[in-house]
Amino acid sequence: MRMLMITMLLGLAACSSTPADPTVEHAWVKLSAVQGQPAAAYFTLRGGAKDDALVNVTSPEAGSAMFHETETKPANNSGMGNMADMPGMSGMSGMSMMKPLMKILVPAKSKVTLAPGGIHVMLMDPAPNVKAGDYMHLTLHFHNGVTRDIDAKALEANSAPPQF
Ligand SMILES: [Cu+2]
């Protein structure tokens, strides 16, 4: 009888626990308007049982990946130039800078959303045969050792984020 109760309790605990490692969902890619220029990848990360961090993204359809955080400041702050006039930056008011990040922190049980105007993955040297509507295969590498493979649909440069 005692044995049976322990088994039942363990079963319950297993059902309600978060996955041990981070998971990823809602991935998509925004292509550059200019072929050969970096594409940007976006997705939602769900933290696992422990704090972790996304440390690299690899893809057979891209040369390398960098993590960036876009910071937009009011238009009349003096500074180092306005990226609103650059291709792919149209529609952004004010001054927009891309700050490099070494990694993307994924705290335990957190939800981290990558989106235009915020944190994103720059996919450098995208393969020239990747067109809007194609899927790019991304492998996400986490600090604690797990990897996650996802297929992210590539959209045109002026696309709004897809509804998931
Ligand atoms: Cu960027």
pLDDT digits (tens, 9 = 90+) for 23-45: 999 999 999 999 889 999 999 99
Q: According to the model, what pLDDT value does residue 113 have?
A: 98
pLDDT of the residue at 90? 47
Q: Which residues surround ligand 1, an ion (CB under 5 A)?
A: 68, 98, 122
Q: Is the pLDDT of residue 10 over 90?
A: no
Q: How far is the CA of 84 from the centre of ligand 1 (A)?
A: 14
pLDDT in tens, 73-107: 776 544 555 554 455 554 456 788 999 999 999 99
Residue 4 lies in a domain: no
Question: Ligand 1 centre from 36 Cα, in Å?
Answer: 15
Question: Average pLDDT over the chain, rounded to whole?
Answer: 86
- In-domain check, residue 24: yes
What letter represents residue 43's amino acid?
F
The answer to whether residue 3 is domain-embedded is no
Ligand 1 center from residue 2 Cα (angstroms): 58
The answer, yes or no, to whether residue 60 has pLDDT greater than 80, is yes
Ligand 1 center to 135 CA (angstroms): 20
pLDDT at 7 over 70: no
Q: What is the model's pTM?
A: 0.79
- Whether 5 is covered by a domain: the verdict is no
Does any domain span residue 144? Answer: yes
Residue ranges making up the domain that contains 74:
20-155
For the chain, what is the HEC assignment? CHHHHHHHHHHHHHHHCCCCCCEEEEEEEECCCCCCCCEEEEEEEECCCCCEEEEEEECCCCCEEEEEEEEEECCCCCCCCCHHHCCCCCCCCCEEEEEEECCEEECCCCEEECCCCCEEEEEECCCCCCCCCCEEEEEEEECCCCEEEEEEEEECCCCCCCCC
- Check residues 149 and 87 and name the one with the higher pLDDT: 149
Q: C-alpha angle with apex 115: 41 to 65, nearest 5 degrees?
A: 30
Split into its structural domains, the chain has a count of 1
Distance 140 CA to ligand 1 centre (A): 17
Domain CATH number, residue 92 = 2.60.40.1890
Residue 15, domain member (yes or no):
no
Q: What is the whole-number distance in angstroms between the Cα of residue 34 and the centre of ligand 1?
A: 15
Within a domain: 163: no
- Looking at residue 134, its pLDDT comes to 97
Residue 52 above 50 pLDDT?
A: yes
| Ligand 1: centre distance to CA 63 (Å) | 15
**Gap from CA of 69 to ligand 1 centroid (Å):** 7
